[in-house]
Structure 1
Amino acid sequence: MRLAFVSDIHGNLAALDAVIADMSHREIQCVVNLGDSLSGPLLPLETADRLQNLPWLHVAGNHERQVLRLPVERQNLSDAYTSGQLNPFVKNWLASHADPADPRLHSAKFWPEHLGHDVALCHGSPRSDIEYLLETPEGESARLANVTEIEERLAGLVPESITLLACGHSHVPRTVRLRSNLLIINPGSVGLPAYEDDHPYPFSKFHRIENGSPDARYAVVEKSGGDWSCELISVAYDHESMAILADKRERPDWAHALRTGWMPSV
């Protein structure tokens, strides 16, 4: 079985197209999108049009929830721009994505016909769509979470029978092996390689995520002999076209992140 995972496209159509092209050479049996597909100052409607024509499985992210459920006046700049671009048809399509809080996702009971009986999914962590599973903000950066932190965030929601758990949200491509038989993967972000976040955490009031490259990220996993292996893939694409678009939308933070994979120096 060979699966591909994408996450955090954030309306970056050029990056998405590059990932789709790269996948076409890899004999992928099923693609799972882990959420945050459209939100941002780029091309949310056009990205939705592309995704709707693909036979992918979709999990909602926190930005889908925010775009669909928060009043526009309470949305951040990226969500508010996206809300203004989407028509009712696209919003209905977003609402059809799997709820990341659905316990069936965490126990491989949502799409077993496509993924088997040992693949679990979430957006952030199983207990929250805005919680990093594999990273812990500390100061102005985010470090690899330790085993105790990861187990706490799993919150007993992932059965022992699960051997692969895919998450997104942090935009950091990473693999972690836990409990000797559980591989946790984050494919990284297709469309946004760096950002700043002022959400408060126990050891941080403000942090940056920076991957140091403008490339689009995704992951391919393969099961052989009962064990999963993962390839974290970095795809070069025409990021300058998206950075120019971010500049036109008066989002220099996005433009710098898209060009470099870093946030602007303070």
Structure 2
Amino acid sequence: MSYTNRWFLKQAAALFGAALLLFGLSTSALVGAILANQVWLPKSIDQGWATLVGAVVGLSIVSVQASVGFRNLRRSQAHQAGLARASQLEQAQLDREARRDQFELQSKHDDQLKLLEKKALAAALNGELLAVHSYLSDRTRSVQTQKVLYEAMPTEVLIPGAQIEIKGAPTPIFDASISKMGLLEPSLISDIIELFQKSKVDISTPADKIPAGMIAKMLGAIVDGWDATHPDFLHLLKRFISVQYGSVDPGARILAKQPEANYK
């Protein structure tokens, strides 16, 4: 059985009411006897009266003590509830701070990981850029040799089976890194894609109906195109280095092509 404060109060009130009823009945009989001159002041208290008075006084004391005890218990329970609420609020605050700290740590970790991936991507593309630069330099020297040979021929002569064949540079790292380009700055992405795509272009066309002098001019245009593109490689190289080592980014290639730009 579950006993509550309300149950104890009800029990105490019932006992106290019964005692008061018995006391009232006994007192009424006593008053009637006194008025009838049958009883005045007794020399001793009857055992029954003593028991009744003791019960009334005892129950009164018990009732008062129970009331005080229950009041103190309610206060204690309210105090405990307040402490529990305060503890819950404090724990909730600690949990929020812990989650915030964890989020900040995770954000720093993610930023650091992103920075490492960014530097690794720049380093890989930088290495391939050097390889592409070397490949195009060798190709330009070969085209220059072909140009000289065609220039040595009569200008209007047609060469059976002649063909202009220019192979673009292989760029496997660039091709595999397209999905990771978002790690880099937008202007840097633009420069990378433009330069690498130009480097990949293949030229393959029959030239048996083109005079030797015209072929020589076409090959000369390819050589001149490399001379104009060469500074772009140097500028992109500087941009990659700035990402790798955290130095100042020289900016977009189109801005560096201003008259005051110096590639030397």
TM-score, reference length from structure 2 = 0.19
Q: Higher helix proportion, which one?
A: 2
Q: Higher strand proportion, which one?
A: 1
CA radius of gyration, larger in:
2
TM-score, reference length from structure 1 = 0.19
